Chain A
Amino acid sequence: MKSFILMFKQNGNFYLYDANRNKILLISSEHFKQIQGYITDKPVDDMTFINKLISNGFLGPSRIQGIEHPMTDYISNYLDNKLAKLTLQVTQKCNFRCEYCSYSGAYENRVHSNENMTIDTAQKAIDFLFDHSSQSKQVNIGFYGGEPLLSFDLIKECVEYTEAKYIGKDVSFTMTTNGSLIDRKIIDFFIEHNISLSISVDGPKEIHNKNRKLANGCGSYETVHEKIRLIKEEYPEYYKEKVTFLMVLDPETNVGCLNQFCSSELFDDSIISSSFINDLNSKNDIRYSEDFTIGWEYEKFKFYLSKLGNLAESNASRLLSFEFQDLNDMFLKFEKDAMDMPAVVHHGGPCIPGQLRLFVTTSGDLFPCERVSESSVSMKIGHINSGFEYDKAARLLNIGKLSEDDCKSCFAIRLCSVCAAHADNITELSQQKKSLVCNSVRRGVIEKIKDGCALLELGYQFK
């Protein structure tokens, strides 16, 4: 490979992204043609511009000789001393039967069960966190399920145990819940112990009830909204400061309806983060309807217009703000001089498994985060009794080794977001599975770069 670049045309403009420099250049059509010739070894009449680029470090070949994550040597330092968050699966029980839930039966080897975490396991996990975070200035303990509020007594014990035993560290608590079991006694406890809450809501009644069903098959909208309203009306300060919402986007949803919902009186000041239905280890393909895709792209278009000052912000969907933040961060990095591409490097995406959000199952097994399947042999990185399996963590961190040759020549190596979870097929890490994701991530990167360039063309400044 002669050069490590991506070239594209858009709106009559010509661009070059150079992976070595992590920069995008706007170039003329003539120069575009010259570079196309140069990289395909065709004769180029005028090499002046190409030579100028080369002298500035552009158009070089990939210098990558090997794939290894730079943190590989320090996994044990981080896992032993710098854990940031512990997520306790306090129960596998749930009073909901959401269609898209990882435990609904639609995913490999994950189903609802009646298993609860014991207080002994929970306390050992909390001890494990503090024993492994001596260099962390803050730590967070998250409660996760199933539906964690089915184990509220255990959660209370965990919070009280932590506060009594571990003095002096900045500790915060969070919980992800379907909201249905919240009552005043629980909210009082949350307020007293400064526990932040993420409540899952999917949108207006029809959309919410489509997937988020009670165990009896009925929709949960009324129940959940009653609880949300209770918090907002009776505990307005807590609602404002500590309650956020998670929205899972069904690819058959009418996106316009979601915007209306987010702007409704109940949520107008709230932080709502959205994600698409999890396709990791799903038995079924998650298909995106044409209407959804068109609707989503239209919302994106409106969001960009609002950023350009051509549309009131109130007309832009808040569901896109996190996605836009990613784009913004990516383009801010393009503005800075990137470190030279090392000869041995790893693509973007993986974090040190377990360091940022260590997930502890009801039985005490350790996993990198709550998004991976706790039935996966390859993703399990230890147990609270026996500690971390550093070699396994290193394998997950170095997931790029599965596709070493592809990664060495992939223009998106710095911009990649693939981690081990994408290659997990429950029993092993699969190169084939990873390759499928690579293609989709590359497409996404190109789309993001093009969107950002379009915004720049229209005068937007990333900040």
Chain B
Amino acid sequence: MQKVLVYPYDREFAPCLRHRDMLEGYVIDRVVSPSGWGLNGKDAGIVDGGTKLGLIVTDDFSDGLKSCDTVFLVDSQHLIDHEQLIKPRIIEALNAKKNVLPLLPLSAEFFGANLLSAISQKPDILEFDPYYEMNKIDTPVVGVIGIASDADKFYIQLALRQEFKKLGYKVSQIGSRPYSELFGIHSFPQYIFNAPISETEKIKAFNCFVKAIEDREKPDVIILGVPGEMMPFNDRIYTDFGLLPFEVFQAIQADALVVSIFAERISKEYLEEINYFCRYRFGLMADCFNLSHQIIDWIEMGNRPRQIDTCTISISQIEEMKNRYVRDFKMPVFDAIDSNDASHMAELLIRKLQSYSLQEV
């Protein structure tokens, strides 16, 4: 097991830290943030409002480096000045003979090919010839999508993986983050994002990609975490208009669906609207909702209306919200950051998938 220093840490990497026991071959030892991010001396769990993680964030990269073998350079919700925050740390780590694993996009133009070639590349991602016929996926598929690209989907994916495995199921998984391989999960193939092929071919290719995983791994269940947002947020924030989830669910018919939403004061009508949207856009309704630990920061969005800005709320506030607004809903609403709730979510999904199998018999 390699001892890992995570840098620069904030909420973006928190799902991975919360499920760090699932990392394959790595143990996270140090968590470092730039001093200006206000996390120094605090438990790393503070960033997502969950329970304490037992790792204290420091701002001393050099000290943290001493006890580690590998540095995970991670993406962040803060704006990162690579020249100031990343490049010197890469050089420092390499000089100290440490491995550097970049989990964020680094530009060869900026860092120089020599520097980048000196650091480890992430594990190979499966790629397939994107010209096959559509295949039927026989294994039950659980889809995980989010109302926005940053709605805590990765927590759900890791929690479900953990819970399904705990229940003895063999899980294959395609994750919404580009470094999902760290957890034994496949990342989305790159041609989905940037290959010069038509959208139709991407759909076919993705179908083939999942089928190949199914054939090779022979899982009991496939978890499919879809990057990006399921729909435009408004007329200014639309990113890809929810195109990717649409294409993914054209490629793969999911059998169960989890939708992650922001923790606003939700109403029954709101959830019903989302459900109708899912039914007609993706071909199935949500089996349950996940409340992200984030409320929308409407004040900040008034100043900067071109990006979604949020404020993190705590596990107890989510619990209170569920008690206050969700108790009487028919649709189940969970909190994947809460391990008890994650178990309940997994149980519900398993029951749903088992009911399919009963009908088929």
Chain A residues engaging chain B, CB cutoff 8 angstroms: 70, 73-74, 77-78, 81-82, 84, 130-135, 137, 165-171, 342, 351-352, 355-356
Complex contact B36–A132 (CB within 8 A)? no
Whether A169 lies near B312 (C-beta < 8 A) is no
The CA of A57 and the CA of B297, in the complex, are separated in Å by 28
Contact in complex: A168, B312 (CB < 8 Å): no
- Chain A residues with CB under 8 Å of B36's CB are 130, 166-169, 171
Are B84 and A135 neighbours in the complex by a CB distance under 8 Å?
no
Q: With A134-B37, A137-B79 as given contacts, are A168 and B295 in contact (CB-CB < 8 Å)?
A: no
Scoring B residues 276 to 318 as 1 if CB is less than 8 Å from chain A, else 0, what string do you get? 0000000000000000000101011000000001011110010
A445 to B122 alpha-carbon distance, docked (Å): 59
Q: Tell me the B38-78 residues at the A interface (CB within 8 Å).
A: 38-39, 42, 46-47, 59, 77-78
Which residue of chain A lies nearest to B41 when distances are taken between CB atoms in the complex? A131
* Contact partner, B84, options A81, A168, A342, Cβ 8 Å: A168
Tell which of B10, B34, B309, B320 touches A167, judged by Cβ atoms closer than 8 Å: B34
- Check if A167 sits within 8 Å of B85, measured CB to CB: yes
B51 to chain A, nearest CB (A): 16
User: Does B265 belong to the interface (CB within 8 Å)?
Assistant: yes
**Nearest Cβ in chain A — how far from B43, in angstroms?**
12
Q: Is B15 an interface residue (CB 8 A)?
A: no
Residue of A nearest to B76 (CB): A168
Smallest Cβ-Cβ distance to A139: which chain B residue:
B36
| A81, chain B: closest CB distance, angstroms | 7
What secondary structure prevails in chain B residues at the interface with A? loop
Q: Does B129 interact with chain A (Cβ within 8 Å)?
A: no
Q: Which of B79, B81, B312, B314 contacts A135 (CB 8 A)?
A: B312
The reply to whether B38 and A82 form a contact with Cβ atoms under 8 Å apart is: no
**Residue from B10, B42, B84, B312 in contact with A77 in the complex, judged by beta carbons closer than 8 Å:** B312
Number of A-B contacts (CB under 8 A): 73
Give me 20 other A-B pairs in contact (C-beta within 8 A), A130-B38, A167-B36, A168-B33 excluded: A77-B314, A78-B311, A81-B312, A82-B300, A82-B311, A132-B38, A134-B46, A137-B77, A137-B78, A137-B79, A166-B35, A167-B59, A167-B85, A168-B34, A168-B35, A168-B37, A168-B85, A169-B37, A169-B38, A356-B299
Tell me how far the C-beta of B50 lies from the nearest C-beta in chain A, rounded to whole angstroms. Answer: 14
A224 to B79, CA, bound (A): 38
CB atoms of B313 and A77 under 8 A apart: yes
Rounded to whole Å, the gap between the CB of A439 and the closest CB of chain B is 27
Report the separation of the CA atoms of residues A134 and B36 in the bound assembly, to the nearest whole angstrom. 8
Residue contacts A-B, CB under 8 angstroms, 26 given: A70-B265, A74-B311, A77-B311, A77-B313, A77-B317, A78-B311, A82-B297, A84-B300, A130-B36, A131-B38, A133-B38, A134-B37, A134-B42, A135-B311, A135-B312, A166-B35, A167-B59, A167-B84, A168-B33, A168-B84, A169-B37, A169-B38, A169-B78, A170-B79, A342-B265, A351-B299
Chain A CB within 8 A of B8 CB: yes
A115 to B101, CA, bound (A): 53
Q: How far is the CA of A304 from the CA of B36 in the complex (A)?
A: 45
A355's nearest neighbour on chain B, judged by CB, is: B299
List the B side residues contacting A170 at CB < 8 Å. Answer: 79
A192 vs B314: C-alpha distance in the bound complex, in angstroms? 41
Main secondary structure of the interface of A (DSSP, over half): loop
Binding site for A on B (CB under 8 A): 8, 10-11, 33-39, 42, 46-47, 59, 77-81, 84-85, 265, 295, 297, 299-300, 309, 311-314, 317, 320
B313 neighbours in A (Cβ, 8 Å): 74, 77
- Output the least CB separation between B270 and chain A (Å): 11
A172 to B187, CA, bound (A): 38
Task: Find chain A residues with CB under 8 A from B312 CB.
Answer: 77, 81, 135
* In the complex, chain A residues whose CB is within 8 Å of the CB of B10: 134
What A residues does B295 contact at CB under 8 A? 74, 77
Please give me the residue from chain B that is nearest to A162 by CB atom: B36
Q: Is the CB of B79 within 8 A of A167?
A: no
* Smallest beta-carbon distance B265→chain A, Å: 7
Closest to B11 in A: A135
Q: B313's closest neighbor in chain A, by CB?
A: A77
Smallest beta-carbon distance B58→chain A, Å? 13
List, in ascending order, chain A residues with CB within 8 A of B77's CB. 137
Q: What chain B residues lie within 8 Å of A134 (beta carbons)?
A: 10, 37-39, 42, 46-47
Q: How far is the CB of B267 from chain A (nearest CB, A)?
A: 9
Q: Which residues of A contact B78 (CB under 8 A)?
A: 137, 168-169
Please, which residues of chain A bring their CB within 8 A of the CB of B297? 82
Instruction: Kindly list chain B residues whose C-beta atoms are within 8 Å of the C-beta of A342.
Output: 265
- Is the pair B311, A168 in contact by a Cβ cutoff of 8 Å? no
Inter-subunit contact A169/B34 (CB<8 Å): yes
Measured CB to CB, the nearest residue on chain B to A70 is B265
Output the least CB separation between B165 and chain A (Å). 32
Residues of A close to B37: CB separation below 8 A: 134, 168-169
The docked-state distance in angstroms from the alpha carbon of A137 to that of B12 is 13
A393 to nearest B CB, angstroms?
Answer: 15
Residues of chain A with a CB closer than 8 A to B309's CB: 137
Which chain B residue shows the least CB distance to A166?
Answer: B36
**Known contacts A130-B38, A168-B8, A168-B78; is A73 also within 8 Å of B317 by CB?**
yes
4 tightest CB-CB pairs across the interface, nearest first? A168-B34, A169-B36, A134-B38, A166-B36
Known contacts A70-B265, A137-B78, A167-B35; A81/B311 CB under 8 A: yes
Question: B324: nearest residue on chain A (CB-CB)?
Answer: A73
A70-B38 Cα distance, complex, nearest whole Å: 26
Instruction: Write the chain B residue with the least CB distance to A132.
Output: B38
Provide the bound-state CA to CA distance between A221 and B84, in Å. 44
Q: What is the minimal beta-carbon distance from B94 to any residue of chain A, in angstroms?
A: 20
Q: Of A132, A351, A355, which is in contact with the most chain B CB atoms at under 10 Å from its CB?
A: A355
